[in-house]
Amino acid sequence: MKIAIVGCGALGSYYGARLCRDGHEVHFLLRSDFEAVRRRGVFIRSPEGDFNVRPRCAQSPAQIGLADLVLIGLKTTANDQFPQLLPPLVGPHTAVVTLQNGLGNEEALARLFPVEQILGGLCFVCLTRVAPGVIQHLDHGRIVLGEFQRWPEPRTQDLATLIRHAGVPCVVTDDLTRAHWEKLVWNVPFNGLGVASAAGIDAVTRGSLAPGQALGASLTTDQLLADPAWETLVLALMHEVIHAAHGLGLKVPEALAEKHVARTRTMGPYKASTLVDFERGQPLELPSLFLEPLRLAQQAGVPTPRLQALCSLLEQMAP
């Protein structure tokens, strides 16, 4: 299968490398890492075993041409680049899979391509890009795959099989929207509080920085769970997201909060992606990860005071 990876940071590089090692024709669309990957390939460091692959490298979509499968690992802050990056890669039979965080990504793709070509994948994985073309895989890796606004098709099962054959656990969901909210149950507290913790728990509670307030050190996932006050806030945010999903008619189980916390304890001192972006001074994925869930919760009439306070504070802290 000819596969194009658009967005070759930690996420795209990791899954692209897995598929490349499994024998597929994988093309990486690269910018800053082009020379490093062209010369040395991609190195994956993982507790499951280190490996190196040599994907085909391109600096423009036209150099790749039409693909059978397009995997999108871009930050959602780059979604305005879809019209330039994707059409040269997408033919009438191309499957377009967004692996991005948050809400609204499939809708953005549907403005360019037919709904029946669009899928979403939710990635539950701990990754860090430690150098150009070098990815550290820390824990997990599972993908939940689903069709946008449709029931799973035979193609969905075929793609899940392809991903599993590459060594990545993959399951198919019959409700991609519910799956998005199930991941938001993790993303909202750990991505959000990872950044907001630099302002302190009082600032998170009131939803604002004090005049002239200096920021402290941000907390990793293990630090958030090691402090009872922060852990209580993590769980409270999780349950607000779950109740918002219920208000939208989505059957997200209450027990998911504790399951996410248990999985997170195995990650060690992990920095969620929003915290990494914050520390690098890069734009934060606020609309997809925080503001859109808040908007939908308010539209459904579900009170989410902690989420609202978190959104207000993150907007003030964003670079």
Asked if residue 94 lies in contact with residue 68, where contact means CB atoms within 8 angstroms, the answer is yes
Residue of 183, 251, 259, 271 with catalytic role: 183
List own/partner pairs for 202-210 with CB under 8 A and 24 or more apart.
Answer: 203/313, 204/233, 204/309, 204/310, 204/313, 205/309, 206/309, 207/308, 207/309, 207/310, 207/311, 207/312, 207/313, 208/312, 208/313, 208/316, 209/313, 209/316, 209/317
- Residue 269, SS3 per DSSP: coil
* Bridge partner residues of 142 (DSSP): 124
CA distance 119 to 174: 12
> Is 271 tagged catalytic?
no
| Catalytic machinery residues | 183
